[in-house]
Structure 1
Amino acid sequence: MPVTGSDIGRRQSIPILYTKGTHYEVGFDVGRTFGSLIQSFVNSSEALNQEYLPAYNTTEGKEAYEATLNNLIRNFPQYIKELEGIADGAKVPFYKLLLLHIDDVILKPQNKEGLKQPTGCSSIALNLKDHAILGHTEDALSDTLNHFYFVSAHIISDKPQGRWNVKEEKFTSLCYAGHLPGYTMNYNHHGLVFSINTISATNLQPGKTPRHFLTRAMLGAENFLQVQQILRDSGVGAADACSVNLTFLQQDGDRVFHNIEVGPAVNSSESQLSALTISPGEDFIHTNEYQRLPLDQANEMMLLSSKCRSETLKNYHPPSSFEDVVKMLGDTSHPEQKVFRDQPNDYVKTIAVGIFDCNNKTWSLYSDNPIYNEPLVVLPLLLKNPKSN
C-alpha cells in the first residue's frame, strides 16, 4: 500500500544540489529543485502555522517583522535576495520563509513562548594529533524529519555584497527545507568547519539580526577574526542566541577548535559573546544551554534535555577516536532524554548525524543511528588553496 505524509518513516536519503550563480540565482535553483520538500515543510510546520503566523497577523508582530526585515535589507541584502530566490523557485510566500528565520523572536512583542519542546543538538570536538573530529547530531522538531538537503554553492558577485563586502562564497551546508544555509553543519572553501547548537534565550530582541543570518554570513568567513566580527554584529547585534563549534582546516600552528556562545544584544548594539579555545589534547561537548554566558534561558524542557545529554556524554571516557565519537552521538541509554533521538512519538528527532574528520578532510553523514549504520555519504572537504600534507 502506498504511504504518504507522516507515514513515510525515516528515509535513507539526503539529496544534494550543486549550484553556481548570484545569490538570487542560487536561491532560485534551491527553491526550484527542492520545491516539493519546501512546500511540504511550510504546510506541515507546527511552529510556523500555530505560532509564528498568528503572531505575524497581529499589529505588534507585523512591526517586529518589518523592523527585522528592514535591518536585514540594510546589512545583508544579498541574503534577502537569496531567500527571495528560494521562495520564488519553490512558489511559496517569502514572508513565511522569513518567519522561519525570525523564529521565536516574532513572539516576543506579545510575551509568548514558542513550542516548549526539547529541541536542540549535541556537538563533540576532539582535538588529538591523530584524530581531529567535530561530530554533531542534528536534532529538530519531528516535522523536520525528511525535510532537509545539502546545498553546495559557488556564489560570485560582480561587486562586494553586504556589510562585510563579500564577493565570493563557496560552501556546502546541510539545510532545513526553505532555510538559508549555515544553521546546521557546514564548511566553506577557506577551510572553516562549524556546527550550531540552538540556545533559547529569554530576552529576545525584535528588529535585530536573527541567528540564522549571522551563521549564513559565517559561510563567507576566511579566519577566526572574521567569525568573531560577524557574530558580534556591531551596530545591531543578535536578536536571539546560539552556540557555534568551529575550526579552520588550514590554520597555522597547532590545530585549535573554538566554541562561541552568542547572546542577544540586550540594551546594546552588539551581540554578547563568550569564546572558548579547545587546545591540542582536549575534547569538548556542547548541547543547548549556556556554559559560560550568565544569561537567562527559556524552554525548561530543552534545558532538561541538554543537561541529561551532557551528563550522558560526560559519563564516557574522554573520546580518543572517530569510533568513540560515533558511539557517543548514537547513545540511547537515557530512559527519556537520549542523545540520538528516534522514539516513535517524540516531538524531537535526530534527523541526521555528521562527523567531520579534520585530518582526512572528510564529512560523514548518517541519516540513521551511526552505531548501527554506515554513513549514507562521505563527502570530501574541498578547499580553495589546499596545503600539501
Structure 2
Amino acid sequence: MASSRIPLYRVKGTHYECAHTIGELTRESIRHRIADDLPYLTPLFAFVQTEYGQKLHRDFLETTRSLYPWYWDELRGLADGSAIPFEQLLVLNFLNETRTAYRLLEEKKQLENETGEKGCTTVLINRKDTNTLSLLHNEDHSTALYMTGYLVEADIQSSKYEDGKRESPKEKFIAYCYAGGIPGNAFGVNKHGFACTLNGLYPNFVAHGRLPRQIINRALLSVKNEEELDKLIHASPAAYGFCINGGFIHQCNYLLNYEIGPNLNIDNENYISKCRIINNEDNLEKKDDDDEYSTAFNYLIHYNHYERLDKVINQQKALQSSHSRWKRGQELGEIFNSKDAICLLGDYENEAFPIFRSSNQSDVKSRTLCTIHINFLTKELILYQHNPKENNEPSLTYNLADLFV
C-alpha cells in the first residue's frame, strides 16, 4: 500500500475523463501547492497575463493541440475537474519554460538561483558482476509539493481525433505526479515495460512555438520500444531542456540516457545526445551509420547540467547544486549495486547542496519528495518516502508485472 503522504489513485477512461477524475481527487492538493508556493508563483501568474506571457503559452498550446491533441484534452480535463483557473494550471505544467522566459525578460537573478537547486539525481546501474540492472532516482522539487505529490495508475482508452484521421495511443502506466500537473515529468513505467525517470536541464533560453517538456515527457508513457522512443524525441520539437533515464524491462541488455535541448539554429530541431549504459562491450551493436550514441560502462549518474551537450547549449549559470552533487558523487566513488546507489542518493554531507534534501537543512525551498528504485530483474517499483539510507523500509512495493497483463 502507498503511504498516506503519497497516495495511489487508479483511474480509467479517456484522456479527458482520467484527467477530470484526477482533478477532482487532487483539487485540495493543488490549492495547497499553490498557496504554499504563492510568493514564487505570483509573479509567474502575473507574467502570463501580459501580452508576451499570453503569446508564449498560446504558442505552446497550439503546438500541443497540433501534435498531441489528447494531452491537450488532459490539460482541459484536469482544469475542469479541479476547478483551478486554466491559466494557473498551465503555469504549473509549463513551469520551467515560464520561469525562464520571465527571468530573461525581468532579469531576476533570484529565480536563476532557485532553478538549479530543485533538480533531481538519477543512478543507472547495469552490472553483470553484481547482477544488478536498476534505475534509482531522487525526486526533488519545491517544498510545496512535499505533501501534495501522488502516484497514479492510469488505464487510458484510445480516442479518435480530427474526424477519425488520428487516434490516440491506448495507455496503461503508473507515474508519480505533481499536484496540478499531468503525468510524465517525474518517473513512471508503462505497460510496454518502458521505465523512465526525468531530470530537468536548464538552457538559458526558451524556444517559442515548440512543445513544453511536460508534453514530451507525458508522451514517453506511451512508447513501445527504443525505435519508437528515438522517433518521438526527434519528432517532438522541445521548447526547453530535460534528461531521460530509462530502459525497457523486457529488453535487459542495456539502459538509456538522453540529454535533450532545443536547437535554435534549425526550426523544430532538437539537440540530442544518446548514451547506452552497457555491462559488456559485446552487447553493443550499432544498427547503421546513422545510429550514433555514446556508451557508459556498468553505471551512470546524472544530475541537472548538460554533460555531453554542454558545448552546444548555453546553460544557466546558477547550477551550483547540480555541480556540487556531481562533485560529491565523484568523491563517493564507483557504484556497484543498488545499496551503493542508495548511499549516494541518501547523502547530505554538503549542507549547502545536499544530494538528499530534508526539512532539517538550510534550503527550505527544495526537498527530496521521494526516492524510487526500479528493479528491472525483479520487475518492482520500490518507493521510499524517507531517506532510504537511514530508513530502508519502503512505503510502497509495486509489482510491475501487473501492468504488463
Contact 2:159 2:168 in 1 (8 A): no
Indicate yes or no: 2:28 matched with 1:59: no
Output aligned runs, 1:26-41, within 5 Å.
26-41=18-33
Contact 2:158 2:167 in 1 (8 A): no
Residue by residue over 1:156-209, the C-alpha shift from the partner in whole angstroms, topping out at 9 and shown as x without a partner, is: 124379999543011000000011111001110100010011011112112210
Deviates more, 1:197-206 or 1:224-233: 224-233
Indicate yes or no: 2:354 matched with 1:338: yes
Output aligned runs, 1:270-309, within 5 Å.
270-280=269-279, 282-293=298-309, 294=311, 295-300=313-318, 303-309=319-325
Deviates more, 1:355-364 or 1:258-267: 258-267
Contact 2:202 2:241 in 1 (8 A): yes
Q: What displacement does 1:299 show?
A: 4.8
Contact 1:260 1:274 in 2 (8 A): yes
Of 250, 264, 267, the match for 1:266: 264
Q: Partner residue of 1:369?
A: 387
Contact 1:211 1:240 in 2 (8 A): yes
Q: Partner residue of 1:381?
A: 400
Task: Decide whether aligned partners of structure 1 residues 79 and 173 sit closer, same or farther in structure 2, where only a CA change above 3 A counts.
Answer: same
Q: Partner residue of 1:8?
A: none
Residue by residue over 1:347-372, the C-alpha shift from the partner in whole angstroms, topping out at 9 and shown as x without a partner, is: 21111111111100111111110012
- The CA distance in 2 between the partners of 1:44 and 1:354, in whole Å, is 25
Q: Partner residue of 2:14?
A: 22
Contact 1:190 1:383 in 2 (8 A): no
Indicate yes or no: 2:182 matched with 1:185: no
Contact 1:46 1:143 in 2 (8 A): no
Q: Partner residue of 1:226?
A: 228
Residue by residue over 1:269-313, the C-alpha shift from the partner in whole angstroms, topping out at 9 and shown as x without a partner, is: 12211101111151000000000112111151xx21111111212
- State the TM-score, normalized to the length of structure 1: 0.89
**Counterpart amino acid of 1:209?**
L
- The CA distance in 1 between the partners of 2:384 and 2:345, in whole Å, is 11
Q: What displacement does 1:263 show?
A: 0.5
Q: Partner residue of 1:139?
A: 140
**Counterpart amino acid of 1:94?**
F
- The CA distance in 2 between the partners of 1:115 and 1:310, in whole Å, is 19
Indicate yes or no: 2:120 matched with 1:121: yes
- The CA distance in 2 between the partners of 1:149 and 1:299, in whole Å, is 32
Q: Partner residue of 2:149?
A: 148
**Counterpart amino acid of 2:220?**
M
SS of match in other structure, 2:203: coil
- The CA distance in 2 between the partners of 1:74 and 1:181, in whole Å, is 19
- The CA distance in 2 between the partners of 1:71 and 1:184, in whole Å, is 22
Q: What displacement does 1:335 show?
A: 3.0
- The CA distance in 1 between the partners of 2:335 and 2:105, in whole Å, is 42
SS of match in other structure, 2:214: helix
- The CA distance in 1 between the partners of 2:366 and 2:155, in whole Å, is 32
SS of match in other structure, 2:356: coil
**Counterpart amino acid of 1:141?**
S
Task: Decide whether aligned partners of structure 1 residues 47 and 230 sit closer, same or farther in structure 2, where only a CA change above 3 A counts.
Answer: farther
- The CA distance in 2 between the partners of 1:345 and 1:21, in whole Å, is 44
Contact 1:258 1:275 in 2 (8 A): yes
- The CA distance in 2 between the partners of 1:185 and 1:47, in whole Å, is 27
Residue by residue over 1:41-75, the C-alpha shift from the partner in whole angstroms, topping out at 9 and shown as x without a partner, is: 13333476333212112111111111111111111
- State the TM-score, normalized to the length of structure 2: 0.86
**Counterpart amino acid of 2:173?**
F
Task: Decide whether aligned partners of structure 1 residues 383 and 250 sit closer, same or farther in structure 2, where only a CA change above 3 A counts.
Answer: farther
Q: Partner residue of 1:96?
A: 88
Task: Decide whether aligned partners of structure 1 residues 244 and 49 sit closer, same or farther in structure 2, where only a CA change above 3 A counts.
Answer: same
- The CA distance in 2 between the partners of 1:202 and 1:155, in whole Å, is 36
- The CA distance in 2 between the partners of 1:271 and 1:25, in whole Å, is 32
Q: Partner residue of 1:351?
A: 369
Q: What displacement does 1:79 show?
A: 0.7
**Counterpart amino acid of 1:33?**
L
**Counterpart amino acid of 2:377?**
N
Q: Partner residue of 2:289?
A: none
- The CA distance in 2 between the partners of 1:100 and 1:58, in whole Å, is 17
SS of match in other structure, 1:370: coil
CA RMSD between the two structures: 2.2
- The CA distance in 1 between the partners of 2:121 and 2:336, in whole Å, is 18
Q: Partner residue of 2:290?
A: none
Contact 2:48 2:87 in 1 (8 A): no
Contact 2:6 2:148 in 1 (8 A): no
- The CA distance in 1 between the partners of 2:177 and 2:243, in whole Å, is 17
Of 329, 333, 339, the match for 1:323: 339
SS of match in other structure, 1:193: strand
- The CA distance in 1 between the partners of 2:361 and 2:403, in whole Å, is 43
- The CA distance in 2 between the partners of 1:310 and 1:39, in whole Å, is 35
Identity %: 28
* Residue correspondences, number: 370
Q: What displacement does 1:344 show?
A: 4.4
- The CA distance in 2 between the partners of 1:86 and 1:285, in whole Å, is 34
Q: Partner residue of 2:250?
A: 250
Indicate yes or no: 2:239 matched with 1:239: yes
Indicate yes or no: 2:36 matched with 1:44: yes
Contact 2:173 2:403 in 1 (8 A): no
Residue by residue over 1:21-47, the C-alpha shift from the partner in whole angstroms, topping out at 9 and shown as x without a partner, is: 000110011111111101211333347
Deviates more, 1:331-340 or 1:130-139: 331-340
Task: Decide whether aligned partners of structure 1 residues 351 and 22 sit closer, same or farther in structure 2, where only a CA change above 3 A counts.
Answer: same
Q: Partner residue of 2:288?
A: none
